[in-house]
Amino acid sequence: MTGIVNTAQSEAWNGYEGEHWAGHAGRYDAVNSGINEPLLAAARVGAGDRVLDIGCGNGQLTRLAARRAAAATGVDLSGPMLSRARESAEAEGVPNVSFAQGDAQVFAFEPGAFEVALSRFGVMFFADPVAAFSNIARALTDTGRLAVAVPAMSASGIGAVFAAAAPHLPGFEVGHGFSAFADPAATAELLTAAGFSGVTNELVDTDSVWGADVADATEFVMGWGPTRYHRQRNDFATDDELRSAIGAALVPFAGPGGVRMRAASHLITATVALR
Ligand SMILES: C[S@@+](CC[C@H](N)C(=O)[O-])C[C@H]1O[C@@H](n2cnc3c(N)ncnc32)[C@H](O)[C@@H]1O
């Protein structure tokens, strides 16, 4: 493993948060997989491409990319999630994937080793986003392409659920990095400073499945990393009210197909700038 500069993130993703994601891989994929096809299409992943998946986690997108490319490599901070990713690639018989543990902000990628860099919700956590995206740009060829998705929490159904939870969780916030990509001008400025050009930023709506029914989805949201973190900080004192508030907020989304919500994402593309 190369160096780690995002140490708090590394602790979280190698601790409770990463264990929860690795232990509920199918659930997280049901929540997040709607963006897979828009992301792969935006990146124009093709048969000859070598693809880098940043913050690949349990590796569903890495496997999908590998199936239509020459090879795909996932890089992630999380040991538990990478173990899960390797097991799934083996179980599904996807031979042209590899995974590496490390911090994408400083990882010693071979320069120009990839035609495409992708990420499904893995680029919101960098302490220094310009340094991180500069490092990713260096890993791409001179005509390399970038396509990343970032949750647009406030435009998504789950945003209403977290808003209902917040009064029962002092200090609750979903994640400071999520809003960084909401402003197209700020996104373009960031990626231009990191060596990209032709930045696009589109809001994409997808379907998202949070559970079989309200009780199931409520327990999942209660255990989700940021919720769990603030429950623990609060000595679990408001768990009863919190559970009721989350359950009530999920009711409008429940139906015969489970608890389904609209999920909005910022889908951002760019190409490597002339160098
Ligand atoms: C929200 S999860 C998304 C995981 C996966 N892409 C998915 O869609 O299921 C964020 C992922 O980014 C990873 N991550 C966060 N900061 C990172 C960094 N600096 N370098 C590499 N991975 C990072 C985490 O370990 C985690 O797996």
Task: State the distance from the centre of ligand 1 to the C-alpha of 8, rounded, in angstroms.
Answer: 13
Q: Which region, left, alpha or beta, applies to residue 175 given φ > 0 means left and ψ of -120 to 50 means alpha? A: left
- Please give the domain boundaries of the chain with CATH numbers for all domains: 7-152+176-204+264-272 (3.40.50.150)
Question: Which residues have a Cβ under 8 Å from the Cβ of 162 and sit 6 or more positions away?
Answer: 153, 172, 174
pLDDT value for 155: 81
Residue to substitute in 121, 128, 130 for testing ligand 1 pocket (most ligand atoms within 8 angstroms of CB): 121
Task: Determine the Cα–Cα distance for residues 86 and 72; give it in Å rounded to an integer.
Answer: 12
Reduced to 3 states (helix: H, G, I; strand: E, B; else coil), residue 54 is strand
Among 5-14, 111-120, 167-176, 245-254, the range scoring the smallest mean pLDDT is: 167-176
Is pTM beyond 0.85? Reply is: yes
Task: State the distance from the centre of ligand 1 to the C-alpha of 68, rounded, in angstroms.
Answer: 22
Which residue owns the Cα nearest ligand 1 atom 14?
A: 55
Question: Which residues have a Cβ under 8 Å from the Cβ of 230 and sit 6 or more positions away?
Answer: 169, 170, 171, 172
pLDDT digits (tens, 9 = 90+) for 68-110: 999 999 999 999 999 999 999 999 999 999 999 999 999 999 9
pLDDT band at 208 (very low <50, low <70, confident <90, very high): very high
Task: Determine the Cα–Cα distance for residues 275 and 238; give it in Å rounded to an integer.
Answer: 55
